[in-house]
Structure 1
């Protein structure tokens, strides 16, 4: 019995994923059939059935010559036109086969045309409104929150050796225009950068209430469609704690959900990447990977991070202990493997140094 329970528990996530994939696919099929339905009606072709879903009918009603129904399997839909089946053609007016060639072509093309139009509308809507990216799902504990209209085009992080830094961009700079064209949102800024590899761009930025003109040349990054430009900067987001593991060092220190991290070891933060995308909360360890901004904030002997935190109207300073754990990842036939080191071993001392 336990085997079947475990099996069902293992299968349920896959069923959920499949269901979530089928629903939007079914909607795409439905609007495709809706295009055929609309075109057939406009061309005077009789539509016997217009169904949302497939299989046995659940409910439905008749209006004029068309039966509208909802079927058992809500994955798409179908349109049944008079005379669509060659074996049922009688040559009477209103049949699909009796319509003119242009009308039949219009009916056939209407489905794909509606899908294309729907895709364009969705792309336009997403591009115009934007979407919120929650960085906490990647690094745990820190969420990139959307900012106001002005702050939405602010630079949050600049790589030290990147084209942005070479051109003079700094965290906190607000992008005003590129080559004289106003920039109203981050996606527009990214598009101009991506399409300008190896071409100088004149950026007008606002810094501390003053406007400055900077020249930036995006580096080329190879892609399947040619080089795209990159300047190695990211947008500004607020660094807000989204969750804390119970009993973790963060919880023991007094950090709370909703706290906004404003600085680390005295360095002001402008976004989540600056804090370090490689940092996440896991049990009692803050594990740290390769990102340079955080490395620069911690020396080898440091065992705590000084966090500047805003909690409501209060500004707090908290010391977060850091427990360093270096775990081994061993290559096959390497010196380390031959010495007996295994994957997952925790390095405690090196030449007597802890």
Structure 2
């Protein structure tokens, strides 16, 4: 139950802040945002505020903001159609009844001759006396079809009408908010837990462990291991874990004097079943934070997470790919459960890492991801004209299908790894 609650909170926070970034900057650019959705698939519930419908959907695999003009606007009204018109106080058309006109007896029924709901915003139609009348349409007018209301999207409210810079910012804002969220979480962590030492200082030595038997002491500063420089506790831990049952040479500094100590890490089973080395040392306690030190910690830790993720991506690009480097929903659920068991503060750092990961993955130049959309916007900027929307849409559709296929494969690998 704790894992499920943690997943709901973390997933909801990461996706909501990502999509809110898209929504905020799209609205600032004047784009009509029809829907803000968390999840995909069937709607569980929804509510409308101002022009946007906020929905929670069944499949917790992401979210989206549906902006007017991203898909071709579907105008189903053609010359010869009979429609019903309702008017506002300015005598502009506020509602266009496409069918079921009998349910709207107050509507004025006319036969359409010409209609433009994107640029000039007018309807020319014959009234019941056969007279051709031109009606002005309010830019926030709604079409009513099957009793479902849809706000029209004049061209100046559509995604494609905005400048390259405005569209690029609306797309980039999602990943950007994930980086900001990670920074905020880690800064809050520093305020609550204190700021850890930014070096490889030994905070404690476990009795009878390999480090104690080799003579390592509390307060020793590890400078290098097997000649490889060590800058912080994480670097040191990684090197130790990579050498179970293998002697390694620590260069330490004690009371201003450097010396070498040989230690053989004991072999232990890690969280994922792999064999790792441990020497029996503890991290030092944290410093009382100041505003500057907490902010600095949030910034440097966010950057450190970015570097770690890019290192993994680099291994994939250079042909060292393994499905074990990628986690799907099942893997994330399992790791979140482990983090939740370790305590609230471990869960905070895990949430920050996931947020950075979400931001970076979305910026990859792949179709259907934010990075792929930014590539198309960049190409448009270079060419000086838009690309064919149908071709771009096809590329994104294929990319989305391939991503779903990858997610299925990764999920099956996670199930085999964790449960079979």
TM-score band, normalised by shorter chain: 0.3 to 0.5
Provide the TM-score with structure 2 as the length reference.
0.32
| Greater relative contact order structure (CA < 8 Å, 6+ sep) | 2
Please state which structure has a larger fraction of its residues in helix: 2
